[in-house]
Amino acid sequence: MFANFEAIIRVTGDQQTLKNSKVLSKNLFLLVIQVLIVVVMIFSVAGTTVWYFGPSSENNFVLAIDSSSSMLAADFEPDRLGAAKESAKDFVNSISSKTKIGLVSFGGTSFVDQTLTEDFDNLKEKIDEISVKRSGGTDLGEAIITSVNALLLDEKSKVIILLTDGRDTVGTDVGVAVNYANDNQAIIHTIGVGTEEGGSFIETGLLTTLDEETLITIASGTGGEYFRAENKEALTEAYERITSFTEEKISIGLQMPLLLIALALIFLEWGLINTRYRTLP
């Protein structure tokens, strides 16, 4: 009955003004802060990690060599497997004695022929002992996972050299294996062995050809490189290029920084609510 109607109109406007106006909260800045708090907390709880490539002082290697029956093709001298073994031993000879090297051979299944070792003489004997596997097909996915597991025994940066002449035909999905390698900070370099014309199995007329697209995907998906080796010289050169790489995967966990940012935003919101945006009774 005794309200100051003139003062109320000055604050709220008359009825005609209110009818034609679009009401928008003046606390939009607070809304933005609240949304940021929720987003930052979600990324923190999710374990957000940033990966980048940095200089590497020391690497551990696993040589993953295809030993399926197609490696007996005679477009290399004496055959693909023989050339691969000789080049692998040359690679071992060129590596520093402080580096550890493991050996995996694979066809339809994978075998750890040698765990990480600094005994290179014994390793070269293991390379010589690789023979064609009886299990049919080529399982690149399992070969990658087995190689990564062999590298988990040491904390140095992890490098896999995957050498094959064929296609992924059985077993573990390559995409799953690549994700596993990335989760464990492993770099995969792939070497495709085979001439453009292809090579035939001994006592058969079947030709084997490379699936270069898959090998490129594996290498690029883990930060490595793909090499095409059409002769023994190119195979040796691929190994030499790999030894010259000096980068490794480095990860930075952002869980704690994001959590601190969220806490800072919460304190900022609390301060604004109690000062600039304080609600008057």
**pLDDT value of residue 159:** 92
CATH code of 232's domain: 3.40.50.410
**pLDDT value of residue 220:** 92
Q: Quick one: 227 and 261 in the same domain?
A: no
Q: Quick one: 137 and 42 in the same domain?
A: no
Structural domains counted in the chain: 2
Q: Is residue 209 part of a domain?
A: yes
Query: CA 281, CA 278: separation in Å to the nearest integer?
Result: 10
Task: List pLDDT tens digits, range 144-171.
Answer: 999 999 999 887 889 999 998 867 778 8
| CB-count burial class (<10 Å; 0-12, 13-18, 19+) for 199 | buried
Q: Is residue 120 part of a domain?
A: yes
Indicate the DSSP class of residue 281. Answer: -
Per-residue CA distances from 172 to 18, 34, 70, 145, 177 (Å): 67, 44, 20, 9, 7
Q: Quick one: 131 and 41 in the same domain?
A: no
- When mean pLDDT is compared across 15-19, 24-28, 134-138, 161-165, the lowest value belongs to 15-19
Q: Quick one: 206 and 91 in the same domain?
A: yes
**pLDDT value of residue 233:** 87
- When mean pLDDT is compared across 58-62, 132-136, 175-179, the lowest value belongs to 132-136
**pLDDT value of residue 15:** 58
> If you average pLDDT over residues 128-154, what whole number do you get?
88
The residues, ordered by sequence, that sit 6+ positions from 104 with a Cβ below 8 Å of its Cβ are 62, 63, 64, 65, 110, 111, 112, 113, 143, 146, 147, 150
Per the structure, the complete domain to which residue 42 belongs is given by: 29-48+254-276
Q: Does 252 or 101 have the greater pLDDT score?
A: 101
List the helix and strand counts (H, then E) for the chain.
Answer: 10, 10
Q: Quick one: 75 and 157 in the same domain?
A: yes
Structure tokens at 156: 């140095």
Q: Is residue 145 part of a domain?
A: yes
Three-class SS state of 174: helix
Q: Quick one: 149 and 38 in the same domain?
A: no
Q: Quick one: 200 and 98 in the same domain?
A: yes
Measured in Å, how far apart are the chain's first and last C-alpha atoms? 21
Question: What is the model's pTM?
Answer: 0.69
Q: Quick one: 105 and 43 in the same domain?
A: no
Query: Max alpha carbon distance in the chain (Å)?
Result: 111
- Among 11-15, 58-62, 65-69, 126-130, top mean pLDDT goes to 126-130
Query: CA 251, CA 270: separation in Å to the nearest integer?
Result: 34
Q: Quick one: 178 and 40 in the same domain?
A: no
Residue with tokens 């097909």: 137
CA atoms within 13 A on the CB side of 101: 23
Indicate the DSSP class of residue 89. Answer: H
Task: Give CA angle at 256 (254, 260), nearest 5°.
Answer: 115
Q: Quick one: 205 and 231 in the same domain?
A: yes
**pLDDT value of residue 273:** 81
Does residue 56 have a pLDDT over 60?
no
Three-class SS state of 105: strand
**pLDDT value of residue 183:** 87
Does residue 92 have a pLDDT over 60?
yes
Q: Quick one: 203 and 222 in the same domain?
A: yes
> If you average pLDDT over residues 60-84, what whole number do you get?
86
Q: Quick one: 192 and 135 in the same domain?
A: yes
